[in-house]
Amino acid sequence: MKKELLIASALVSTLGAASVANAVTATMSGSYKTGLLGQSADNGTADTTTGLQEGNFTVSLSETTDGGIGIASSFMLANESDSGTQTAGVTLTFTDGSKLDVINGGNAAKTHDISVPGAAGDPALTVTATNRAQTGLDFFGEASAVGFEWHSASDFMADGLKISASWSGDTGAAPVSTVALESSWGVGATYVTSAGDTSVTIGAGLADSEWKDDDVAPSTGSNGFHVGISAVTGNLTVAAGYANGDKVAGGATEYEVNDNSVTSVGAKYVTGDITLSIGFTSGEGKDSTTLGTAGTTEDALDTLGAGISYAVASGVTANIGFKDIDSQNDGTTDTAGGTSWYVGASMSF
């Protein structure tokens, strides 16, 4: 017992907290969405319409030490979107405005990717599992729980500039029949400026990771970069992004996807309570089920999305979305693409 008390006292002293512990400030937030999803595949299967209901509930905790250092974390009580809950590490906010995320720190490359408008709501279509073309600007940049991410204060070295850097290490998990992350690092930056009446945001990131497998074959690792730009003039937002790199992933079969490229462009326009959006994404990559060996045939996914969102009331939004997907697997156009639509509403607090 004496040892535990000494450890607790040392921790409190290190953080600069008051000698008497009080309850931290807790806030709650969450969302719930419900709607209908319609899917029409090119392979000739019957069209389907299904109901979608997803919700999450999060508790955020924060406090400030006598020395002015902010300490924050959060945990999720419910998350139906991916059948699991997420917990945050600890975020320290310093008096100069910089922050440090420790435990589940994340990867700095993902922090600075540009958001490109697309479909509203949740229109989606499942393509063949062997088509591994990537569609997100942050398809790389993995991180383990053993790591940190540092964020600079605003206007770092120049007006409108923020940067981040991250590192994560091996958790000791054995790869067995799948791959496991061994280490990773990432850097990223966001720069905000103006050109006349237009606000311009430029984001970029670079990341690399090493993997371990079941020793059957060495993996080459995941790595890549992304760059994007967003311009806002009045109610109109136009954005574009590009990413390129390699990816390692595991599951029933370990695989590598080499020479990935993702190009995404989109726009949205806000008029009163209505937001109109449209976007197009093209992803290509060569996959291989033999680790350490580059793929030779190309997978591709082209996605066109559009949507209408209407702010019904504070925290309540009605969404209508549409997607059209063209799929190419191993160099050949397949019938796994198709169209999907979504009609629903989301509520948040």
**CATH of residue 299:** 2.40.160.10
Q: Is residue 231 part of a domain?
A: yes
β-partners of residue 344 are 35, 319
**pTM of the complete model beyond 0.75:** yes
CA distance 325 to 137: 18
Q: Is residue 246 part of a domain?
A: yes
Q: What separation in angstroms does the CA of 61 have from each of 24, 29, 32, 153, 170?
A: 6, 11, 21, 21, 28
**Mean pLDDT, all residues of the chain:** 86
For 281, residues 6+ apart whose C-beta sits below 8 A from its C-beta are: 116, 118, 135, 262, 263, 264, 301, 302, 303, 305
Q: Is residue 68 part of a domain?
A: no
Handedness of CA 158, 190, 111, 233 (dihedral sign): positive
Residue-wise pLDDT for 129-162, tens only, equals: 678 888 899 988 889 899 999 999 999 999 999 9
Q: Is residue 264 part of a domain?
A: yes
Q: Is it the case that residue 252 has pLDDT exceeding 80?
A: no
Q: Is residue 159 part of a domain?
A: no
Residue-wise pLDDT for 256-281, tens only, equals: 788 899 999 999 999 999 999 999 99
Q: Is it the case that residue 290 has pLDDT exceeding 90?
A: no
As a whole number, mean pLDDT of residues 13-21 equals 45
Q: Is residue 58 part of a domain?
A: no
CA distance 155 to 163: 9
* Domains contained in the chain, number: 1
Quick one: tokens of 287? 């996959």
Cα 157 to the center of its chain, rounded Å: 27
Q: Is it the case that residue 45 has pLDDT exceeding 90?
A: no
For 180, residues 6+ apart whose C-beta sits below 8 A from its C-beta are: 171, 173, 174, 211, 212, 213, 250
Q: Is residue 137 part of a domain?
A: yes
Residue-wise pLDDT for 167-191, tens only, equals: 999 888 777 667 788 899 999 999 9
CA distance 181 to 160: 34
pLDDT at position 77: 86
Q: Is residue 122 part of a domain?
A: yes
Handedness of CA 101, 103, 106, 107 (dihedral sign): positive
Q: What domain range is 296 assigned to?
A: 111-142+171-348
β-partners of residue 280 are 265, 304
CA distance 184 to 174: 17
Opening angle at CA 218, ends 214 and 221, nearest 5: 105
CA distance 303 to 305: 6
CA distance 183 to 171: 9
Give me the percent of the chain exceeding a pLDDT of 70: 85
